[in-house]
Amino acid sequence: MKKKRYTNLNHVSNKKTFQDMRKWQKERRRKVKDLTKNIEQCSNKRIDELKANRNVTSYTWIGHSTFLLQLNGVNILTDPVWAKRMGFQKRLTEPGIPLENLPEFDVVVISHGHYDHLDFPTLKKLKGNPRYFVPIGLKSLFLKKGYRNVIEMSWWEVVEYKGIQIHFVPAQHWTRRTLTDMNTSHWGGWIFQANKETLYFVGDTGYFPGFQEIASRFPIDTVFMPIGAYEPEWFMADSHISPEDSVKAFKELKAKQFVPMHYGAYRLADDTGPEALERLVTEWKKQQLPKEQLKILLIGETYF
């Protein structure tokens, strides 16, 4: 039976040729990057408060695309990855909080199947008995790995769980875990709504018109937006949003707060974490956006 292959809005393709890959590798060899400068760790980690909290909305950046979100008394974990390596590359920054120091999890959401967003060795170590929300096409892999508490969702579907509306929304990306399973599962972002509050975890994406449609459907309070793995842009733009376009997307979303992510943990492209952050801040100032709307977290930092 032929496997279903999922696509982007407007059928935008992310496929690259062997010649494209060679061109990128030649460019990379000519670049000199300072990999000694990394994103800082938070010195005041609020571990005890996180374990006790069941009343106040909070978010904690673990690193890369991993956040602990606390909403309506529910502990939500996004794209949990505590892996020390990604392929041949060693992790540049330690996860903000050791997994064993975090509370039990109620919900885990996965944006897509790439290894830097879905790490089964990490899932084995999670506390509690979380319910997993995954893109359509991924549930069979979870079942094969022994996970039964799994809900598979398509774009624009919504499920209510413990008083929270959980929506799966589009992103522009692709996925693959083996040589034969390219795009056999989907990709997207997750929106959480409770107590008149809306949090939007974008996942992994290039800039795309879907942001405008999401804005027409949801009043976004806080958006967790990727800013890294964009260089070289001629190669990466379809799949990874640049810092400048992330600001453009934020404006289109009409969100109240921007929290950057997907930078500083792994070297997935040619840009560095500090470079991504510098370009974000520069564009923020250029667009004359209010300082208080940009919430840059240190690794392991919690915002209540």
CATH of the domain at 210: 3.60.15.10
Q: Does residue 1 surpass a pLDDT of 70?
A: no
**Residue 268 lies inside a defined structural domain of this protein:** yes
218 burial (CB, 10 Å; 0-12 / 13-18 / 19+) is middle
pLDDT in tens, 24-78: 998 888 888 888 899 999 999 999 999 999 999 999 999 999 999 999 999 999 9
What does the alpha-carbon distance between residue 286 and residue 21 come to, in Å, rounded to a whole number?
33
Residue range(s) defining the domain that contains residue 295: 47-303
What separation in angstroms does the CA of 126 have from each of 30, 33, 99, 148, 301? Answer: 41, 35, 7, 15, 20
pLDDT, mean over the chain: 96
Q: How many CB atoms lie within 10 A of CB 219?
A: 13
Compute the average pLDDT of residues 96-117: 98
**Residue 15 lies inside a defined structural domain of this protein:** no
- Which range is least confidently modeled, 12-21, 102-111, 250-259, 267-276? 12-21
Say if residues 53 and 46 touch (Cβ distance below 8 Å).
no
**Residue 39 lies inside a defined structural domain of this protein:** no
What does the alpha-carbon distance between residue 223 and residue 37 come to, in Å, rounded to a whole number?
26
Q: Does residue 200 surpass a pLDDT of 90?
A: yes
What does the alpha-carbon distance between residue 66 and residue 43 come to, in Å, rounded to a whole number?
19
Confidence of residue 287 (pLDDT cuts 50, 70, 90): very high
**Residue 37 lies inside a defined structural domain of this protein:** no
Domain count within the chain? 1
CB contact burial 8-42 (16+ within 10 A = b; e otherwise): beeeeebeeeeeeeeebeeeeeeeeeeeeebbebb
128 φ, ψ (degrees, to nearest 5): 85, -170
What does the alpha-carbon distance between residue 209 and residue 220 come to, in Å, rounded to a whole number?
16
Position 132 scores a pLDDT of 98
What does the alpha-carbon distance between residue 289 and residue 39 come to, in Å, rounded to a whole number?
23
**Residue 11 lies inside a defined structural domain of this protein:** no
Q: Pick the closest to residue 294 from 275, 282, 281, 279 (CA basis).
A: 281
pTM reported for the whole predicted model: 0.97
**Residue 26 lies inside a defined structural domain of this protein:** no
Tell me which residue has tokens 């990466």.
236
Q: Does residue 2 surpass a pLDDT of 80?
A: no
